Amino acid sequence: MSFDIVIEFKNASIFQKEVLVLSGVDMSVVKGEFVYLIGKTGSGKSSLLQTIYADLPLAYGDATVVGYDLKKIKKREIPFLRRKLGIIFQDFQLLTDRSVTDNLLFVMKATGWKDKKKMLEQAQDILEKVGLGTKGFKMPHQLSGGEQQRVAIARALVNNPEIILADEPTGNLDPETSTGIMKLLFDISQSGRSVLMATHNYSLFKQFPSKTLKCENGKVAPYNPSLSEMDEW
């Protein structure tokens, strides 16, 4: 495997319990690459992401993620894999009873940080990177939807992951706020982290074109939309 490849699947089959969701999956993501994962609801996008972060076991085929073999990974190794991944969900999943900074500190404690001073410095640094440098003391309900999603992105960045997995990160946001979040995610990929983003918001492709994979009919394949398709969006 090339050291630049951070995700690689070869002839993999992905199941939800006994149900085959995707078969013959061949794909790779290179360091610093921004990749869209598109497809209708139920086409297997989330199942593929769940396999990447070892929430779903890989039964058939081969896959490596940041050097971990998903077929051979042991339960005790999964937290170490996940430290190299930052995961962003559509519904933010913030802890509503703690401040923005405490949301980040919670993740850091859970992933083995010990030094309180370093933790606070890292939290502040990351909040500044996502444009929330003055909002650390606020509670999630005091923030707009776009700001809450920026907190979720900050939380995903807090361990300096190699890959960001984003599952419909603009799904609950208005178009203008979505544009700001996309700019932030593209900036993150340009800093050397890979971003794999599941979405069905095709209008984003026009503003932010990038490599695209499509889940359709139980397969994952490279996708290059035609100009007429893009006009329909």
pLDDT for residue 141: 96
pLDDT for residue 226: 66
| Residue 210 shares a structural domain with residue 142 | no
| Residue 75 shares a structural domain with residue 98 | no
pLDDT for residue 166: 94
| Residue 155 shares a structural domain with residue 170 | no
| Residue 19 shares a structural domain with residue 69 | yes
Structure tokens at 31: 């360091």
Helix, strand or coil, per DSSP, at residue 136: coil
How many distinct structural domains can be found in the chain? Answer: 2
State which of 160, 188, 219 marks the end of a domain. 160
In the predicted model, residues of the chain with pLDDT beneath 50 are 1-2, 233
Question: Residue 141, exposed/middle/buried by CB under 10 A (0-12, 13-18, 19+)?
Answer: exposed
pLDDT for residue 15: 94
Tell me the C-alpha distance between 137 and 109, whole Å. Answer: 18
**Of the candidates 202, 195, 218, 220, the residue with the CA atom closest to the CA atom of residue 29:** 195
35 near 194, Cβ under 8 Å?
Answer: yes
State which of 139, 160, 181 marks the end of a domain. 160
Which residue reads 């700019």 in tokens? 183
Q: What domain range includes position 143?
A: 90-160
| Residue 2 shares a structural domain with residue 64 | yes
User: How many C-alpha atoms does 55 have within 13 Å on its Cβ side?
Assistant: 10
Per DSSP, the residues of 152-167 read HHHHHHTT--SEEEEE
Residue type, 91: D
| CATH code (residue 201) | 3.40.50.300
| Residue 181 shares a structural domain with residue 197 | yes
State which of 160, 186, 204 marks the end of a domain. 160
| Residue 156 shares a structural domain with residue 170 | no
| Residue 115 shares a structural domain with residue 223 | no
Helix, strand or coil, per DSSP, at residue 71: coil
Structure tokens at 14: 């992905």
pLDDT for residue 228: 58
pLDDT for residue 1: 44
| Residue 95 shares a structural domain with residue 144 | yes
